[in-house]
């Protein structure tokens, strides 16, 4: 099986030069004409900021999949607002790998490869991606929670992260001095008044 390339040139402005997958194939049981594959060429945006892959619902029908009848209806928050889509676990093929991934289907949906599909392909190639996934810390404690924030499931990882933040903070202070306003803004971006256990 030939390998596939993701085209991207970081010498160009990002907004005009996005990472595009040259080929993504959707597999299904067979559409009205017995077609079991639908391939999107040179137009699948690789979007690591999206949790899931997104495809036009017409592609599903073409290969005999019916996300409306057999999928789950979801509402997805996008930069353009909340969009109703249909979610279905399907077989995808890209970058020389065939994986099962969750896809959001919608009428006229812009084709994009989300993080879950990309991680599945990377895992199929022999890389362990589970350690890349960590609990996300909300920017602020929920109202009525008494200031409690969710705790990381693995305290050792949190300690390692805090040590890395402390080292980074020391380098930042050395480079910028003890700029209290800068440090306060950095702390707020981490959701509290401390960075790596260091009070700001």
- Overall size of the chain counted in residues: 200
Task: Tell whether 139 and 127 lie within a shared domain.
Answer: no
Instruction: List CB contacts of 68: < 8 A, sequence separation 6 or more.
Output: 57, 86
pLDDT at 43: 87
Q: Domain for residue 1, yes or no?
A: no
What DSSP character marks residue 64?
A: T
pTM reported for the whole predicted model: 0.60
Q: Of 103, 132, 161, which residue constitutes the final position of a domain?
A: 132
Identify whether the C-beta of residue 71 lies closer than 8 Å to the C-beta of residue 28: no
pLDDT at 78: 75
CA distances 178 to 96, 146, 174, 200, Å, are 50, 31, 8, 10
The half-sphere exposure of 64 on its side-chain side, counting CA atoms within 13 A, is 12
**What angle (nearest 5°) sits at the alpha carbon of residue 71, between those of residues 66 and 76?**
115
Task: Tell whether 23 and 61 lie within a shared domain.
Answer: yes
Print burial letters for 10-35: b (CB count within 10 Å at least 16), e (below 16).
Answer: eeeeeeeeebbbebbbbbbeebeeee
Task: Tell whether 121 and 142 lie within a shared domain.
Answer: no
Q: Of 132, 148, 163, which residue constitutes the final position of a domain?
A: 132
pLDDT at 112: 93
What DSSP character marks residue 132?
A: G
Identify whether the C-beta of residue 153 lies closer than 8 Å to the C-beta of residue 147: no
> Average pLDDT for residues 154-173, to the nearest whole number?
63
pLDDT tens digits for 94-107? 988 899 999 999 99
Least confident of 14-23, 92-101, 139-148, 175-184: 139-148
| CATH number of the domain encompassing residue 64 | 2.40.70.10
Instruction: List CB contacts of 135: < 8 A, sequence separation 6 or more.
Output: 150, 152, 153
Task: Tell whether 61 and 92 lie within a shared domain.
Answer: yes
pLDDT at 124: 73
pLDDT band at 142 (very low <50, low <70, confident <90, very high): low
Tell me what percent of the residues of the chain surpass a pLDDT of 90.
32
Task: Tell whether 95 and 147 lie within a shared domain.
Answer: no
Bridge partners, residue 198, by sequence: 195
Domain extent at residue 140: 134-200
pLDDT at 173: 64
């Amino acid at each position: 099986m030939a390998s596939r390339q993701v085209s991207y040139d970081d010498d160009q402005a990002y907004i005009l030069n996005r990472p595009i997958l040259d080929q993504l194939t959707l597999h299904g049981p067979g559409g009205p004409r017995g077609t079991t594959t639908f391939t999107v060429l040179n137009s699948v945006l690789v979007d690591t900021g999206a949790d899931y892959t997104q495809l036009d619902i017409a592609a599903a029908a073409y290969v005999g999949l019916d996300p409306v009848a057999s999928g789950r209806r979801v509402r997805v928050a996008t930069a353009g607002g909340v969009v109703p889509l249909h979610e279905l676990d399907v077989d995808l093929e890209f970058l020389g790998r065939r994986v099962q991934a969750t896809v959001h289907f919608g009428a006229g949906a812009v084709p994009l490869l989300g993080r879950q599909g990309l991680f599945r392909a990377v895992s199929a190639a022999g890389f362990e991606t589970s350690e890349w996934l960590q609990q996300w810390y909300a920017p602020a404690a929920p109202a009525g929670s008494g200031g409690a924030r969710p705790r990381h499931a693995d305290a050792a990882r949190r300690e390692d992260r805090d040590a890395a933040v402390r080292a980074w903070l020391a380098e930042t202070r050395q480079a910028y001095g003890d700029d209290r306003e800068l440090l306060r803004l950095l702390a707020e971006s981490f959701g509290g008044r401390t960075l790596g256990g260091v009070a700001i």
